[in-house]
């Protein structure tokens, strides 16, 4: 079971990391469009549509990735103090009541939008000769399907936590700051940090 959970985590991670490269493409595209518009006096009417579709694709495909890393925003002010079983019970209830119906609706409706867009060879009508829209709309059901699979994995994790009293492990990925590795790099131990904290407190008391 754990291998299956981690396998779905891996799919969400690979998809998220692949589409994360759109940030690089967007950066270069925006920079070029600004240069072309103001330096060369040659704006491209389709550029804004393409940028919006690229960012929308990134945003949708990052949903399952973020869920696999337990990175979505929640009220940790209270949630973080709850025992694991209570956390799992709350998560399970919210997944069943809100997440599953919402994501199923997203994937179902997205499939209809994408199919219709391909059938009529849809292009953006914001500008003349706008870019094709059907590749972007195809992302909607794909993102919904991956997010739904990841949500089912999270539901299984909730059930396991309710049974065992502890959250099962997740797939590892890049962290913003790896504190332990940072300590190793600068040769700092926990004892040194504790001594420094005590010294700071002592100096404050003297003042």
Same domain, 191 and 162: no
pLDDT at 2: 77
Sign (positive/negative) of CA torsion 117, 119, 121, 122?
A: negative
Same domain, 185 and 104: no
Question: DSSP letters along 50-112, please?
Answer: HHHHHHHHHHHHHHHHHHHTT-S---HHHHTTS-HHHHHHHHHHHIIIIIHHHHHHHHHHHHH
Determine the number of helices (DSSP H) and then strands (DSSP E) in the chain.
Answer: 9, 0
pLDDT at 171: 67
Structural domain range at position 197: 179-207
The domain total for the chain is 2
Same domain, 157 and 188: no
Q: 82: phi > 0 → left, psi -120 to 50 → alpha, else beta; which? A: beta
| CA 11 from centroid of its chain's CA atoms | 13
Residue 145: strand, helix, or coil: helix
Same domain, 114 and 184: no
pLDDT at 4: 81
Same domain, 170 and 68: yes
Same domain, 113 and 188: no
* 155 contacts: CB under 8 Å, gap ≥ 6: 92, 95, 96, 100
**Structure-token pair, residue 47:** 């550029």
Chunked mean pLDDT (size 10), the chain, 207 residues: 83 92 94 92 88 92 91 74 90 94 95 94 82 93 95 94 88 58 67 70 62
DSSP state letter for 128:
T
**Structure-token pair, residue 21:** 């490269």
Provide the whole-model pTM: 0.77
Same domain, 200 and 101: no
CB atoms under 10 Å from CB of 127, counted, come to 14
């Amino acid at each position: 079971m754990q291998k299956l959970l981690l396998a779905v985590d891996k799919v969400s991670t690979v998809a998220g990391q692949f589409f994360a490269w759109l940030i690089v493409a967007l950066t270069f595209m925006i920079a070029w469009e600004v240069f072309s518009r103001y330096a060369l006096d040659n704006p491209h009417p389709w550029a804004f549509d393409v940028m919006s579709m690229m960012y929308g694709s990134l945003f949708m495909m990052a949903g399952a990735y973020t869920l696999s890393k337990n990175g979505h925003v929640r009220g940790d002010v209270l949630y973080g103090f709850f025992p694991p079983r209570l956390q799992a019970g709350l998560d399970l209830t919210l997944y069943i009541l809100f997440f599953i119906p919402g994501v199923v609706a997203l994937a179902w409706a997205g499939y209809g939008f994408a199919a219709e867009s391909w059938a009529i060879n849809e292009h953006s009508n914001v500008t003349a000769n706008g870019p094709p829209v059907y590749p972007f709309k195809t992302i909607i059901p794909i993102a919904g399907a991956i997010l739904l699979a990841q949500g089912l994995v999270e539901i299984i994790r909730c059930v396991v936590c309710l049974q065992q009293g502890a959250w099962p492990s997740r797939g590892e990925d890049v962290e913003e700051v790896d504190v332990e590795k940072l300590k190793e790099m600068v040769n700092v131990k926990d004892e040194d940090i504790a001594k420094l904290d005590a010294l700071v407190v002592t100096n404050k008391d003297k003042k």
